[in-house]
Amino acid sequence: MKGKFFIEWPTVALFAGTYAAWAGTVFWMAELAPWLAVPALAAVIAFHSSLQHEAIHGHPTSLQGLNTAIAWPPLTLVIPYLRFRDTHLAHHRDETLTDPYDDPESHFMDPCDWRRLSRVQKAILNLHNTLAGRLLLGPFVGTLCFVCSDWKRCGVDRRIAWGWAWHVLAAAIVAATVLASSMPFWSYALAAYGALALLRIRTFLEHRAHDRARGRSVIIEDRGPLALLFLNNNLHAVHHAHPGVPWYRLPELYRQGRDRYLAMNDGYRLASYNDVFRTYLFRRKDPVEHPLRPARH
């Protein structure tokens, strides 16, 4: 029945376990095994970001305010949850996927804007379009572009200013907790950067330029650790077709309709993340300028 209250206990359990793992890492592991704490915390923070994505899409309860409260802490310190929510929901307007102006998560540029860049800027962005570049530079480039875009608009959009105001409060609480823990703050910052780099593995090729919206989202048939870290969002075409379906139902949906999904996205598929690394670690996947969009002057 529409409007009926529900709780998805698998996702609730993951949220609880993730916050416990975060606290255990910064207060306990950071003291006993500091060399292990940074990569472990990077994985925990990346996993929390995947859970935040679930909350944006209406999980783990039917009460969106409760979902927001559960997912709100910015463990990365730099991504405001409320802004993540608004930009990601805008990204889910599939008809504008990859558009340099209308898709907030697009990595493409308008060809006219691309021509205005210096050689150094073009070289950096071309490197950024390899997987190695996305891992090394992606957290910095992505965060810088995100912050600059919001800064330009916050004076005319109160929703943006409100999202950042709440973020400052939440980030201060997270930072104060870290400062009271056994983990040096520089180690925490390194782990947060590592978490954002891990997430770039998922976002690296999840969309492509295609003349039809349904052909723009990828399927990566991986069932390994990265698929778990991304909560099955490697089955990205399935997620875009059914954005309200929880993470644990996506594999079964794909198994039941594999041929249909691959026909829908025109065969945009890779067998595993091993294939992604092998093919694109040092190779540019796409041009930076959008190949199917005329320049806007």
Query: How far is 275 from 278, CA to CA, in rounded Å?
Result: 5
Residue 145 in this model has a pLDDT that exceeds 50: yes
pLDDT reading at 279 higher than 50: yes
Question: Is a pLDDT exceeding 70 seen at residue 109?
Answer: yes
- The conformation of residue 295, written as its DSSP 8-state character, comes to P
172-224 confidence digits (pLDDT tens): 999 999 999 999 999 999 999 999 999 999 999 999 999 999 999 999 999 99
Tokens of 64: 């969106």
pLDDT at 297 over 80: no
Domain membership of residue 266 (yes or no) is no
Please give the pLDDT value at position 135: 98
pLDDT reading at 55 higher than 80:
yes
pLDDT of residue 121: 95
Question: Do residues 289 and 117 make contact, with C-beta atoms less than 8 angstroms apart?
Answer: no
pLDDT in tens, 21-35: 999 999 999 999 999
Position 164 pLDDT exceeds 90: yes
Residue 181 domain boundaries = 9-209
Confidence band, pLDDT 50/70/90 cuts, at residue 4: confident
- CA-closest candidate to residue 55, choices 25, 24, 74, 81: 81
Across the chain, mean pLDDT equals 95
**Which phi and psi angles does 284 have, rounded to 5°?**
-70, 125
Inside any domain, residue 214: no
pLDDT value of position 294: 62
Query: How far are the Cα atoms of 36, 43, 45, 138, 236 from residue 39, in angstroms, in the given order?
Result: 6, 6, 10, 17, 26
Residue 40 belongs to a domain: yes
Residue 32's pLDDT is 95
Better pLDDT: 111 or 295: 111
Cis peptide before 225 (omega within 30 of 0): no
Average pLDDT rounded to a whole number, residues 259-275 = 97
pLDDT for res 1: 41
Say what the pLDDT of residue 155 is. 80
How many C-alpha atoms does 155 have within 13 Å on its Cβ side?
3
In the chain, what is the greatest distance between 2 CA atoms, to the nearest angstrom?
Answer: 58
pLDDT above 70 as % of the chain = 97
- Would you place residue 290 in the very low, low, confident or very high pLDDT band (cuts 50, 70, 90)? very high
pLDDT of 80 strictly over 50: yes
Residue 216 lies in a domain: no
Mean predicted confidence (pLDDT) in 82-90: 96
Q: What is the pLDDT of residue 199?
A: 98
User: pLDDT band for position 153 (50/70/90)?
Assistant: confident
Tally of domains in the chain: 1
Q: Is residue 102 part of a domain?
A: yes
180 lies in a domain? yes
Q: Is the pLDDT assigned to residue 296 strictly greater than 60?
A: no
CA distances from 175 to 183, 186, 189 (A): 11, 11, 10
What is the DSSP secondary-structure string of 175-244?
A: HHHHHTSSS-HHHHHHHHHHHHHHHHHHHSSSB---SSGGGSB-EE---SHHHHHTTTTTSHHHHHHSTT
Q: Is residue 269 part of a domain?
A: no
Evaluate if pTM is beyond 0.75: yes
Q: Is residue 232 part of a domain?
A: no
Alpha helices in the chain (DSSP H): 9-24, 30-32, 34-56, 64-71, 81-91, 111-115, 119-128, 131-153, 158-179, 185-203, 225-229, 236-241, 250-256, 258-264, 273-280
